[in-house]
Amino acid sequence: MTIVGPLRRLAWASLAVWLVAACASPCARAVEQKYWGVTPYRLRVEVAIDASWQPEPGLAERLAAELAERIDSAIGPLWKAEVVVAAGPRRATLLRGIPEFSWDDLSAEQRTLDKLLFVTLRANPSGWEIHCREFDVYLRRWGDALETRLQQRTRLDEAVFDTLVDAFSPLATVHTIEDDDAHVELLPRGYELPSRDGQTPFFAAGRPFEPILRRTDRAGELLENGVVPISWTYLSAIEPEDGAWLADVFTGVSRPFRARRRGQVEQLAIGLTPRGDSTVVRFYARQDKSIGLAGYEVFRKTGDEGTELIAVTDRDGEAVIGKFDEAIVTLYLRSDGQLLAKIPVAPGAIARLEAPIADDAARLRAQAELRTVREELIDLVARRAILMGRARSYLQAGRLDDAQKLMAELSELPGVAQFSREITMSERASESSDPGVQKRIETMFADTRSLLSKFLNPKPISDLQAEVSQARAAPN
């Protein structure tokens, strides 16, 4: 059974004939992308009810009709929705649990929609259980599964509508702003359509969004693996500007957005609703996922310059990131004073996040090796200075044989060549398979080699030896 709101025809009477014709053509998707601002979401809401504990004849049909009316009155032309009552085997399937199907499981008709929303209601001795979940056909992704428990039958209609709205994830196109990498402009789907209160439905200051790239062919059909989230990047809505929304960019990568992209590529963003209390972030070695980075410090950015220690990773490299006043938190991972990663997180929006990090264990090994080498170098430089000072004192006192003995000891001390070999051996023992880490390790060892010519220059010793030899050769 299908219920369609009676006000829908009036809401659509003002739209141009070209849009109706375009939606019937094979290139409807491409046309809709062009007319994003006046294109509503096409939804199907499927409702399955088990009222065996509280029998009520005709409940499913009445609830579907009331839900369609509520969508018309509260959301308006932004949703072109139909409400379907599941029956027979389909009803039984949904009541067992909303199945997480894929794009391949959709019918040809379902593939023409933007969103599928599934609502199940089950009566029990204490009231009602409402479950709802969204499948975004446009992005081919599932939303969170929501559950609401209700005792009063009189609030059932309102609770179903509220759960449905809560499960809905709005879409927007992302536009870059010239000479401003810290902000983007979000154009909500259907932003030019009239709204009941003049506001942008489903948008609010501070709401987080996940940016996504959607690649299509020339006919507007999605390519294989054509939906790709932009790595380590979130957006936070700030305020509306002429139908669009200004948004902050939180990212751990350089230039997550491009002013222009080749081919049929949409830069989109989908709204997130942080429902959990926290997000578990696991930091692991990029070259080996089984190696968790344990004992690393996790800071969050506070204000423009400040940071605050909020966690230390456990033995598996995990840190629990709770909610803060802001919906998106920028995390900094540090080890031994070194900044290893900067990643944004929307705590509670997802339960778990896996964060591959450059192999810091190799850098730490290299740092330990260099610490040993530098300590030996410092000790050698000190010994040289002491021996040379004593030799010069003996030379000035005329104790030439004692001065020569000290010069012999100086000549036996390790020189540049020997230290270079030791540094090379230490460097080989600290190699990393991660190119980025290996480059940093090579830079660390190169800096140490540059110290050799400065502190182990053989010229001061050879000059002093010449003075001692000249004094010994001079007639008494």
pLDDT, tens digit, 9 for 90 and up, residues 414-438: 888 888 888 888 888 777 777 777 7
Q: In the prediction, which pLDDT does 280 show?
A: 96
- pLDDT category, 360, cuts 50, 70, 90? low
pLDDT surpassing 50 at residue 18 = no
CATH of domain 171-271: 2.40.30
In angstroms, what CA-CA distances link 245 with 130, 235, 259, 291, 461?
Answer: 33, 11, 17, 41, 71
Q: In the prediction, which pLDDT does 359 show?
A: 61
Per mean pLDDT, which range of 54-58, 146-150, 311-315, 340-344 is the poorest? 54-58
User: How much is the average pLDDT of 264-293?
Assistant: 90
User: How much is the average pLDDT of 32-42?
Assistant: 80
Selection from 457, 374, 354 nearest residue 415 by Cα: 457
- Compute CA 152 distance to the chain's CA centroid, rounded to the nearest angstrom: 41
pLDDT in tens, 195-251: 877 788 899 999 999 999 999 888 878 888 899 999 999 999 999 988 899 999 999
CATH of domain 278-357: 2.60.40.10
The residues facing 298 across adjacent strands are 311, 333
CATH match for 2-167 among 1.10.357, 3.10.580, 3.40.50, 3.30.1490: 3.40.50
pLDDT in tens, 105-126: 999 999 999 999 999 999 988 8
Selection from 286, 205, 193, 211 nearest residue 246 by Cα: 205
Q: In the prediction, which pLDDT does 34 show?
A: 59
More reliable by pLDDT, 388 or 56: 388
pLDDT surpassing 70 at residue 139 = yes
Domain spans, the chain: 2-167, 171-271, 278-357, 361-473
Selection from 335, 322, 333, 338 nearest residue 356 by Cα: 333
What lies within 8 Å, CB to CB, of 232 at 6+ separation is: 251, 252, 253, 256, 343, 344
Its pTM stands at 0.73
Q: In the prediction, which pLDDT does 435 show?
A: 75
